[in-house]
Amino acid sequence: MDSQTKRINYELLMGWTAIVAVLAVAYFGELLKEQRTIGYVLIFIAVAGIPAIVCWLLYYKNPYMVRLRYIIVAGYFCMYLFAMFTGSTFIVFTYIFPLLSLIILYHEPRLVLIAGGASLVLNAASIIYRISIGEVTLVNSKDAEIQIALMLLCFAGCYFAVKLFDSIYKKNEDNIQALNKKNQQIQQMTMQTITTIANTIDAKDEYTKGHSKRVSTYSVCIARALGMSEDEIRNIEYIALLHDLGKIGVPDVVLNKPSKLTDSEYELMKSHTIIGGDILKDSGIFHEINVGAMYHHERYDGKGYPKGLKGDEIPLIARIIGIADAYDAMTSTRVYRKRLKNEEVINEIAKCRGKQFDPAITDVFLDLLRNNVIEQISPDEEESVVEDDISLFSHHILRKVVDEQNRLIAKERELDYLTAVYNRKVGERKIIKSLNEKYGCLMMVDIDNMREINKDNGILFGDHCLTTVAAIISNIVPNAIVARFGGDEFVCLYEGIRTVSQAEQLARDIIESVNSKEELQEQKNKVSVSIGMALSVLEGQEYNHLLSCVDKALYHTKKNKGKSFHLYQSMSRTEVKATCKMDIAHVMGFVRMIDNKEEETIEYPELSHIKPFVREMVERREHTLGFAMFLIISDDNIPISIEERDFFMEQLEKVIVTMSRQIESSMRYSSTQQLIAFVDIKRDEMELIAKQILGEFYRKYAKGNISLEYALAVYEN
Which H, E and C letters describe 171-229, residue by residue? Answer: HHHHHHHHHHHHHHHHHHHHHHHHHHHHHHHHCCCHHHCCHHHHHHHHHHHHHHHCCCC
> What three-state secondary structure class fits 578?
helix
Over residues 427-447, the pLDDT tens digits come to 888 898 888 888 889 999 999
Choose between 399 and 103: higher pLDDT: 103
H-helix or E-strand containing 154?
helix 142-202
Query: Is residue 172 within 8 Å of 219, Cβ to Cβ?
Result: no
How far apart CA 591 and CA 602 sit, in angstroms, is 10
Choose between 389 and 138: higher pLDDT: 138
Report the candidate in 491, 510, 514, 503 with the shortest Cα–Cα distance to residue 422: 491
Residues facing residue 483 across a β-bridge: 422, 491
**With 0-12 CB in 10 A as exposed, 13-18 as middle and 19+ as buried, what is 72?**
buried
How far apart CA 623 and CA 614 sit, in angstroms, is 15
What type of residue sits at position 626?
G
- Percent of the chain predicted with pLDDT > 70: 73
pLDDT on residue 29: 80
Query: Is residue 429 within 8 Å of 477, Cβ to Cβ?
Result: no
What type of residue sits at position 451?
R
Q: Kindly calculate the radius of gyration of the chain based on its CA atoms and give it in whole angstroms.
A: 44
**What homologous superfamily is domain 419-570 in, according to CATH?**
Reverse transcriptase/Diguanylate cyclase domain (3.30.70.270)
DSSP letter (8 states) at residue 250: S
Report the candidate in 633, 694, 685 with the shortest Cα–Cα distance to residue 664: 685
**One fold for 210-379 and 419-570:** no
- Which of 196-205, 451-460, 505-514 shows the lowest mean pLDDT across its residues? 196-205
Q: Check whether 363 has a pLDDT greater than 50.
A: yes
How far apart CA 542 and CA 523 sit, in angstroms, is 40
- Residue 540: C-alpha distances to residues 360, 440, 637 (Å): 44, 10, 10
Cis upstream peptide for 306 (omega within 30°):
yes
> What three-state secondary structure class fits 244?
coil
pLDDT on residue 590: 80
pLDDT on residue 388: 40
Over residues 518-537, the pLDDT tens digits come to 888 776 668 889 999 998 87
- Which of 49-53, 653-657, 671-675, 694-698 shows the lowest mean pLDDT across its residues? 671-675
Fold (CATH) for 210-379: Hypothetical protein af1432 (1.10.3210)
How far apart CA 607 and CA 616 sit, in angstroms, is 15
Half-sphere exposure in the Cβ direction for 274 (13 Å, CA): 9
Domain ranges of the chain: 2-174, 210-379, 419-570, 572-717
How far apart CA 235 and CA 220 sit, in angstroms, is 9
Q: Check whether 154 has a pLDDT greater than 80.
A: no
May I ask the CATH architecture of the domain 572-717?
2-Layer Sandwich (3.30)
Q: Place 2 in a pLDDT band, splitting at 50, 70 and 90.
A: low
Q: Check whether 386 has a pLDDT greater than 50.
A: no
What type of residue sits at position 7?
R
Over residues 256-308, the pLDDT tens digits come to 666 666 666 777 788 888 888 887 776 656 667 788 889 999 999 999 999 99
Which H, E and C letters describe 583-644, residue by residue? Answer: HHHHHHHHHHHHHCCCHHHCCCHHHHHHHHHHHHHHHHCCCEEEEEEEEEEEHHHCCCCHHH
